[in-house]
Amino acid sequence: MSPTIPVVGALNARVAEAAQGVLGGGPNWLQRARAAALASHAGQGAPTARSEGWRFTSAQALLSPAYTLAGRPERRGGHAGKAMCPLTFHHIVFENGRLSRDRSVLKGLPNGVTVQGLAEALTDDPEAVRPFIESIPEGLTFASLAAGLFRDGVLVRVGRGVRLDRPIHIVESSAPDVSRGPAMAHLRSLIVLEPGAQAEIVEESLGEPTEAFWTNALCDIVLGENASLTHYRLQREPQSGVRTAATLVRVGRGARYDSHGFTLGGALIRSDVRVCLAGEGAECSLNGLSLQHGSEIVDHHTVVSHDAVGGTTRQLYKAVLDDRSRYVFDGMIKVKPGAQKTNAQVYNRNLLLCDEASVNTNPQFKILADDVSCKHGGTVGQLSPEALFYLRSRGMDAQEARRLLVYAFGAEMVERVKLEPLRLALESALRARMPEASEAP
């Protein structure tokens, strides 16, 4: 018998129907975990302008459409030619929130590496993932919803001391059935690197410009002692696409987590990244670049918690905004008592190409230790008239000069990408996606 839950009335009746649809299979502990997650979501409710973390971003794009759980895509054109990563990578593909076996390419994985759909893992060895699935995200209402409604996701395990030979490319593709109206897909993923393991993972979301589609993802990452993960996150949603994603990372002693996020489209993109530097000498680097135009809204929230001695954090997020787009950055670094020798920086830099675009930036610290080095800053500005004058005096026309300066502003983040084929693809995307700055007055 399925558990009874105070279902998600904070959204709409169709979401409640979706919840009842997933509470019917799997072991009892899984059903209890789903019910607890949905109860947590219902208790938090849908975000409003008074909700912590949502003061500057309206969740109306998530509340107005009558979303239903997505089925298989109406057309299966695949992601070939659309995804940024070359076919030499390991690929695992999800279409509308479900594993696509025939489009995934996972041959030749090294010994000690497992990559599979989470639904498969829950069938093959449910006890192995049970501790993670039973964990409920705190204070993240849509992450709780993903924990309750997920149908699939990816499980990546890299064994002790194993170095992955090639990057793993996770593709999350959406292609709604236009006859059914707005659709949603919820995914829950797990990435575990055992002590000494090393891996590069590229997570890319893309969709077709048809009906409104909401992708809601939750990813738990656990890095063992001296493990190292470089995590690239590429958001490439169409103008009707909405994506909410929470990434929860636990970094062990001497381990390192590097994150590079690129937002290249979407009506509303909300990203929550929470990193716990749990072990002595743990490190993290969080980088982001958002290129926006039209009425796009991008909202990045990061929380890094230094729980041990000698942790290091480096954060730099940038945004280029045109038209009526809006960008929100909230970066919190917490230094717990006893986390001495912490070295942390958080910066946000924004470039506005017109007066209608807007930015809300809030880099901040909460420090409860006394032997630390912490720096933060946020800037919002326009193109330098002096730089424009200099370039024009060297023979460039106004638009070419503006484009060169915008490209230079964004290229700093692309140059941090160490994967050459991905870096080249991002350089092309930067040129193509870069807002067409209007003529200077």
> Which of 279, 312, 346 is the last residue before a domain boundary?
279
Q: Give the whole-number percent of the chain exceeding pLDDT 70.
A: 89
> Which of 230, 256, 279 is the last residue before a domain boundary?
279
- Within-domain flag for 305: no
Model pTM greater than 0.85?
Answer: yes
Question: Which range has the worst mean pLDDT, 11-25, 83-97, 357-371, 426-440?
Answer: 11-25
- Within-domain flag for 128: yes
- Within-domain flag for 304: no
| Residue 274 banded pLDDT, cuts 50, 70, 90 | very high
> Which of 229, 248, 279 is the last residue before a domain boundary?
279
Looking at the fold, whether 390 and 275 belong to one and the same domain comes out as no
- Within-domain flag for 192: yes
Closest CA to 388 of 429, 324, 428, 439: 439
Three-class SS state of 288 = strand
* The residue to which tokens 């949905």 are assigned: 38
Residue count of the chain: 441
* Whole-angstrom distance, CA of residue 209 vs CA of residue 213: 9
Burial 406-441 (b: 16+ CB within 10 A, else e): beebbeebbeebebeebeebbbebbeebbbebeeee
In the prediction, which pLDDT does 205 show?
Answer: 93
Which tokens hold the place of 411? 């290229």
Question: Which range has the worst mean pLDDT, 76-85, 322-331, 353-362, 380-389?
Answer: 76-85
- Within-domain flag for 74: yes
* Whole-angstrom distance, CA of residue 398 vs CA of residue 42: 53
- Within-domain flag for 356: no
Which of the two residues, 5 and 158, has the higher pLDDT score?
158
- Within-domain flag for 362: no
Burial 360-375 (b: 16+ CB within 10 A, else e): bbebebebebeebebe
Does 2 have pLDDT greater than 60? no
Longest dimension (CA), the chain: 76
Looking at the fold, whether 20 and 161 belong to one and the same domain comes out as yes
* Whole-angstrom distance, CA of residue 397 vs CA of residue 392: 6
Looking at the fold, whether 78 and 214 belong to one and the same domain comes out as yes
CA atoms within 13 A on the CB side of 129: 29
* Whole-angstrom distance, CA of residue 66 vs CA of residue 72: 18
Domain range enclosing 424? 384-441
In the prediction, which pLDDT does 107 show?
Answer: 85
Three-class SS state of 266 = coil
Q: What's the number of domains the chain is made of?
A: 2
- Within-domain flag for 167: yes
Query: Is there a contact between 322 and 296 (Cβ–Cβ < 8 Å)?
Result: no
Give the tens place of pLDDT for each residue, 338-393. Answer: 999 999 999 999 999 989 999 999 999 999 999 999 999 999 999 888 888 888 88
